[in-house]
Amino acid sequence: MYKNIAKHVLRVSSSRAAPLPQQLVSQPRRFFPFFDFSQRGRNWTVQNKISPIDVPPIERTEYEPNYQINLKYKDLHDIKMENVVWSVRLKGADIGHIELTDLNGKGPFIYRAHHLHMHGPSEHRVAGVQHDLEMHIVHELIDGPDHETYKEQLAVVGIIFKVAEESHPFINKIKTEDLGHIETINFNEIFQTITPDEHKGFFHYKGSLTTPPCTDIVNWNIYSEVLPIKEKHLKQLQGQWHDNLHGNCNFRECQPLYGRRVVRNFQ
């Protein structure tokens, strides 16, 4: 399954396939992909121009009772964020999974969490507004009715942040100052303002990856609450990729809806 997601997400694999020549072991950054964000994705030779999107104002989205998402993340111990050139990534052996029934009522599907990475400023806009940071938890489909032929082989949970006086507790925990060692963390902590049995508050649409190859195989789930982050923490995170990208920000510009439905699971 790792191989499967690697095909879609990690264009250049890290050192998993074969041992690195010894002289390159000290330069792991060279083995992560570099995306040219200088034109916010306009210059990418990719077919799918469907993600990210500007999520319409709530009254122009549709409450869809068929759409359901349940977050089943687990406690992670002793992990560390890594710089992957164009972003930072938080990856653990067993992050947990989500259960998802899509806007057409297909499912429930089980998607296993693969990793979390970040974009700053945000990729998705909310009612026309671009915020300061967006986290993406990327999941791969592992089970569900006819899951092998189901188009959306990935599901991404997007969480948007804007600058405020205090950071959300999850941001405090990931030690932005040095991408340091994290003793324990659970991705559920991001959504701690809602009760564990009631994961309401997501917008959902069908789209693509936002980085090359931009494959159109993603069930998108954007958390409806915009969460707080201190300016200092935002700068520390953005500093991780700004230099690598020659000062560019790592977001793709919004793409047209082309008549697609954007639904929500809350009223």
- Minimum CB distance to Zn ion, residue 65 (Å): 28
Q: Which is nearer to Zn ion, 103 or 154 (CB)?
A: 154
Phi, psi of 226, rounded to the nearest 5 degrees: -90, 120
Tokens of 22: 């010894």
Q: How far is the CB of 243 from Zn ion (least distance, A)?
A: 19
CB of 107 to Zn ion, least distance (A): 23
Structure tokens at 39: 């034109």
Q: Which is nearer to Zn ion, 136 or 233 (CB)?
A: 136
Q: Is the dihedral of CA 7, 188, 171, 157 positive or negative?
A: positive
CB of 58: closest distance to Zn ion in angstroms? 23
Beta strands in 19-105 (DSSP E): 54-55, 62-63, 68-73, 75-83, 88-90, 96-101
Give the closest residue to 126 by CA, choosing from 52, 194, 70, 193: 52
User: What does the angle CA 110 – CA 206 – CA 44 come to, to the nearest 5 degrees?
Assistant: 115
**Element containing residue 155 per DSSP (H, E):** strand 154-163
Ranked by CB distance to Zn ion, the top (closest) residue is: 136
Which residues contact Zn ion (rule: CB under 5 A)?
A: 136
In the complex, minimum distance from the CB of residue 136 to Zn ion, in angstroms, rounded to a whole number = 4
In the complex, minimum distance from the CB of residue 98 to Zn ion, in angstroms, rounded to a whole number: 16
CA distance 86 to 89: 10
Q: 112 by DSSP, 3-state: which?
A: strand
